[in-house]
């Protein structure tokens, strides 16, 4: 198997032996488009999964379990995905994620909706987690194919693929219901199948430069040594806490708005602006990091999340929901893009697989917990307390970043 994997990598990487600027831009464009296609899937699940779950589940407390199932699938596959791509390359892994996760998972979710099976619907969402488990490495693949000077901007540009998803994700969740009159909620999941297969066609043209692939005999540190770096711990904390908070509040929002008398159209509009808040800043986040420093951008992300909580607990009008979710998205962007950039500074190319895999394993373990707790907290303590409970986690994150800044400023 080692020989076959090595020959496969040689075949893939020999197609582009140098990272020419044109190839660099093409690779980033392919990754950005696939990021957009995947995020339409993710946003559809976040917008519709809880509402469909509420219709199919035996109790409202389980309404967000389908969303949590997607995150559990991500947790289960994120480390194997990283190790698989370390051995066989980025492109084969991304193709498996899109076809087996997006295509098959979407089909099973459609079947669950059609036959009104809550657990079959959850299984489909679990497989969509396989899609996410591979797709979350698009941002790291951007770092692999980019030069040092372009790396933070490449990550930001791939993340900016979410701007397209901000418009098409909520639209798919609310408008594609017309595809199947007998089972309206199956329409958006059918679109997911088509998008995943379209993305796999583009991924066939992805080329990973040979320079970014470490030699098989490269010397690597133990994971304990890598994890012992203060920068690694802060990168992990910022990405994990920022993502878990965002998912918890985002997943609860359509249900909270429904409880306040708002319809699917208003919920979809709030989610659209939320996702714009998540990804539109990515066009400039890399520039802001370069100009103001990574630590300052991470602290700014914490401050924006606090502002989101303040707005959310101040009222339950459409404006309150809209403003709070936009701020939630911006805060997530600063923390996640910043944390991803910081993580790339803590490992060598040969250590990439285990470092990125362990990072995303922890991140999505917390995200899975957040998405599962979302329905439980909303059902038991309400929208206001759900938001207030986020503040201690934000405070811990800010303190960790501040301590790293002080450590790095020492002569």
CATH number at residue 248: 1.20.1250.20
Q: What is the pTM of this model?
A: 0.73
Question: Contact, 79 vs 357, CB < 8 A?
Answer: yes
Residue 218 lies in a domain: no
> Is residue 126 one of the residues assigned to a domain?
yes
How far apart (Å, rounded) are the C-alpha atoms in residues 191 and 177?
Answer: 10
Question: Is 217 part of a structural domain of the chain?
Answer: no
pLDDT of residue 6: 46
Report the Cα 40 to chain-centroid distance in Å: 11
| Host domain of residue 115 | 2-210+223-409
Q: Which residues of 29-59 are buried (b: 16+ CB within 10 A; e: fewer)?
A: ebbbbbbbbbbbbbbbbbbbbbbbbbebbee
Tell me how many domains the chain contains: 1
Within a domain: residue 215?
no
Domain-located, residue 120: yes
List pLDDT tens digits, range 74-112. Answer: 888 878 888 888 888 888 999 999 999 999 999 999 999
Average pLDDT per block of 10 residues along the chain, 411 residues long: 45 40 76 90 86 85 85 85 85 92 94 93 94 86 72 73 81 83 88 93 79 57 84 91 92 90 87 88 82 91 97 96 96 90 82 78 83 85 94 95 88 66
* 66 within domain boundaries: yes
Write out the two tokens for 408.
């790095």
Domain-located, residue 228: yes
Q: Is residue 393 part of a domain?
A: yes
């Amino acid at each position: 198997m080692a020989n076959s994997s090595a020959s496969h990598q040689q075949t893939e990487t020999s197609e582009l032996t140098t990272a020419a600027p044109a190839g660099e831009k093409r690779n980033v464009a392919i990754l950005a488009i696939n990021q957009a296609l995947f995020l339409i899937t993710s946003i559809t699940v976040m917008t519709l999964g809880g509402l469909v779950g509420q219709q199919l589940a035996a109790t409202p407390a389980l309404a967000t379990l389908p969303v949590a199932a997607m995150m559990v699938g991500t947790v289960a596959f994120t480390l194997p995905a990283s190790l698989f791509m370390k051995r066989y390359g980025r492109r084969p892994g991304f193709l498996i994620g899109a076809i087996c996760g997006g295509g098959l998972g979407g089909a099973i979710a459609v079947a669950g909706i059609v036959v009104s099976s809550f657990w079959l619907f959850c299984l489909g969402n679990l497989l969509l987690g396989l899609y996410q488990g591979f797709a979350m490495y698009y941002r790291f693949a951007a770092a692999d194919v980019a030069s040092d000077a372009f790396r933070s901007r490449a990550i930001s540009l791939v993340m900016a693929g979410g701007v397209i998803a901000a418009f098409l994700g909520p639209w798919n969740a609310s408008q594609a219901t017309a595809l199947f009159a007998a089972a309206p909620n199956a329409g958006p999941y059918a679109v997911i199948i088509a998008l995943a297969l379209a993305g796999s066609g583009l991924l066939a043209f992805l080329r990973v430069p040979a320079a970014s692939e470490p030699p098989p005999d490269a010397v690597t540190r133990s994971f304990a040594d890598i994890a012992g770096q203060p920068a690694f711990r802060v990168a992990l904390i910022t990405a994990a806490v920022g993502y878990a908070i965002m998912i918890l509040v985002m997943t609860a929002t359509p249900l909270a708005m429904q409880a306040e008398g708002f319809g699917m159209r208003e919920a979809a509009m709030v989610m659209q602006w939320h996702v714009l808040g998540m990804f539109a800043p990515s066009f400039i986040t890399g520039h802001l990091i370069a100009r103001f420093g990574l630590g300052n951008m991470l602290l700014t992300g914490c401050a924006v999340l606090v502002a989101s909580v303040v707005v959310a607990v101040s009222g339950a009008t459409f404006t309150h929901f809209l403003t709070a979710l936009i701020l939630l998205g911006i805060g997530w962007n600063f923390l996640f893009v910043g944390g991803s950039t910081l993580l790339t500074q803590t490992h060598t190319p040969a250590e990439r697989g285990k470092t990125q895999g362990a990072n995303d394993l922890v991140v999505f373990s917390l995200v899975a917990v957040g998405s599962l707790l979302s329905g439980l907290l909303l059902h038991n303590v309400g929208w206001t307390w759900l938001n207030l409970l986020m503040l201690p986690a934000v405070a811990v994150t800010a303190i960790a970043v501040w301590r790293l800044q002080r450590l790095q400023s020492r002569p």
